[in-house]
Amino acid sequence: MVHEIYPSIQGESTFAGLPCVFVRLTACHLRCRWCDTPHTFTQGEAMPLDDVVARVLAEPCELVEITGGEPLLQDDVFPLMARLADAGRTVLLETSGAMDIRRVDPRVRIIMDLKCPASGECEKNLYANIDLLKPIDEIKFVIADRGDFEWSCDQVRSRRLASRFAVLFSPVFGELAPKTLAEWIIESQLPVRLQLQQHKYIWEPTARGV
């Protein structure tokens, strides 16, 4: 089930600012309190794998992100990512920390969102995934408050995340001021990257298909 396919500017990750084709898939088994894409839980249409690949390759962008919802809930996502990588695309996968990533093609760059306590879904994290990540992969923490920040710092330190992957700290949009999170990061002296959702500053924050 595909919710939408569209070209835009990558708003997050270390690829932020680059042109990117997004393949947003339907369905998610989590209900994060601050979720900004609840429409993906049920909205979408069935599309043959060949049609999805053709739609993506018709766009000139070399960068493709597979996202959701939770894309790993659909079995066809695995051959989709492999075929896009076969075609020479740089493939990003945005996934929660609550789905097993062992079947993901090793050419795919995984951006794994470890759920913080304020999300309401922290207990769903599969920490075994961390040891399956590659040096080119990234770990994201979406932070709502000081408690989330301290929890995230503990994860970074205890699991030595910053020496193994790019680590992104992202404030919940409209809830935690970027300036506040920036000050906390400076204070912590951790080598983590402050991430803003660029698309929400370029376009209306609730806009779809951007």
The mean of the pLDDT values for the chain is: 95
What's the whole-number mean pLDDT along residues 87-91?
98
Instruction: Give the full edge-to-edge strand order of the sheet including 193-194.
Output: 2-9, 19-25, 63-67, 90-96, 109-114, 138-143, 166-171, 193-194
Find where tokens 């049920």 sit: 42
% of the chain at pLDDT higher than 90: 87
Residue 204 has what pLDDT? 83
Residue 210 has what pLDDT? 66
Burial degree of 139 (CB within 10 A; 0-12, 13-18, 19+): buried
Predicted TM-score of the model (pTM): 0.95
The alpha carbon of 20 is separated from its chain's Cα centroid by a whole number of angstroms, namely 14
Question: Is 186 a residue whose pLDDT tops 70?
Answer: yes
CB 68 within 8 A of CB 94: yes
Residue 166 has what pLDDT? 98
Task: Provide the terminal-to-terminal Cα distance of the chain, rounded to the nearest Å.
Answer: 19
- Residues 164-199 as b/e (b if ≥16 CB within 10 A, e otherwise) read ebbbbbbbbeeebeeeebeebbeebebebbebbbeb
Residue 21 pLDDT level (bands cut at 50, 70, 90): very high
Residue 208 has what pLDDT? 73
Residue 39 has what pLDDT? 86
Q: Which pair of structure tokens corresponds to residue 178?
A: 């970027």
Chain segment 113-166, per-residue pLDDT in tens: 999 999 999 999 999 999 999 999 999 999 999 999 999 999 999 999 999 999
Report all structural domains of the chain as residue ranges with CATH numbers, in order of start: 2-202 (3.20.20.70)
Question: Is 96 a residue whose pLDDT tops 80?
Answer: yes
Look up residue 188 and give its amino acid. Answer: S
Chain segment 35-68, per-residue pLDDT in tens: 888 888 888 999 999 999 999 999 999 999 999 9
182 or 43, higher pLDDT: 182
